[in-house]
Amino acid sequence: MKVYINGKLVDKRAARISVFDHGLLYGDGVFEGIRAYNGRIFMLERHIERLYASAQAISLPIPISREKMIADILRTCRANRIRNGYIRPIVTRGVGTLGLNPFVCRNPQVIIIAAKIQLYPPELYEKGLELVTVGTVRNLPEAINPRIKSLNYLNNVLAKIEALNAGVMECIMLNAQGFVAEASGDNVFAVRGERILTPPSWCGALEGITRGVVMELAREMGYDVSEEILTRYDLYTADEVFLTGTAAEIIGVPRIDRRTIGNGRPGPVTRRLTAAFRQLVSRSGTPI
């Protein structure tokens, strides 16, 4: 396996960064998770646009252009013979001191990893993924804006620990006001009749790329899609609940906090959207 570091492809055993990199010391950096299907990278331009927006929001200059980033992602995928896989471009603040000052870091590091991923077992896409609500509250948007996809993921990791300790693989995170924000690594949707609802980013939700694609597909199908404040009651009483994410794609939720959602199986809207999403990814994307 080859890993891209600052313009060079090196064997993964030789892929190293300094222990003084602020990405390691403070989680100071940004990243994206991108999928490749059938030799094409899905929504590559949208991911790159978000990567550069996240970097700009934290005053992190990415030392290569968007066009070069795209070319180097393709180069890394070709070196690893990726046809179906997961790509992670990362930009760290670079080497600095043990102090917090980010402006002593003169050379941001660009890393690209292209490998395989399987977030959930295939059978869960048929029977659904059970969730619990966790006590770890989503970061305040005024503290860390959820639109920034940063390397500082401890908030999500703590929520994931709670979920795993409760015997499930994913969870619902609430914000400080008690409203639904997102899962530890996915966006949350609720279905009520012909309406599909998802929390807005100011409630603590990342504006996921897959989230946006699913919203577009649902509108094309004639559903009323909107961003709305959601409570746990709204999820418990929904006809269907499903999650979306780059790695997760679309996965139905049969139970939350041991309450059955709908008929306890991924519902018809979830299945329709899943079929439409899989059809889309099979015929679109940037060729590797």
Catalytic residues: 149
Identify which of 28, 185, 6 has the alpha carbon closest to the alpha carbon of residue 98.
Answer: 28
Tell me if 198 sits within 8 A of 227, measured CB to CB: yes
d(CA 170, CA 160): 7
Give the DSSP per-residue string, 10-74.
EEGGG----TTBHHHHH--EEE--EEEETTEETTHHHHHHHHHHHHHHTT---SS-HHHHHHHHH
CA dist 33 → 116, 150, 216 (Å): 12, 11, 20
Nearest-angstrom CA–CA distance, 98 and 277: 45
Q: How far apart are the first and last CA of the chain?
A: 17
User: Tell me, what DSSP letter sits at residue 201?
Assistant: G
Q: Residue 246: which of 138, 120, 122 has the closest Cα?
A: 120
- Nearest alpha-carbon partner for 147 in 232, 78, 57: 57
**Closest to 257 in 3D by CA, of 135, 127, 125:** 135
